[in-house]
Amino acid sequence: KDIEFIRSYYFNKLEYTRFSSSVGKHVGFTERGVKIAAAWNKDASLLSAMKAQKEVYCLNHIQIEYSNML
């Protein structure tokens, strides 16, 4: 529940859009990023794939990472 998957997209060191698993969609931070995020959010298959990344990357590796820290 406390794990969040975030994928950020940058151009010239400026973050223009981000996917956050807690929000469940892409969010734009620049004028162009807002347009790109809106287009990506219309694609249901892309959104479901991004939502699945939390399980693929985070939940499958948390036990390993947690035990390595202890």
What tens digit of pLDDT does each residue of 6-48 get?
Answer: 999 999 999 999 999 989 999 999 999 999 999 999 999 999 9
Q: Which DSSP category does 43 fall into? A: -
Q: Show the CA angle centred on residue 48, arms to residues 42 and 50, nearest 5°.
A: 95
**Domains of the chain, first to last:** 6-68 (3.10.320.10)
Long-range contacts of 52-61 (CB under 8 A, 24+ apart): 53/5, 53/7, 53/21, 54/3, 54/4, 54/5, 54/21, 57/5, 58/3, 58/4, 58/5, 59/3
The answer on pLDDT for 69 being more than 90 is: no
Residue 20: Cβ within 10 Å count = 16
Residue 1 has what pLDDT?
A: 59
Q: The whole model's pTM is what?
A: 0.77
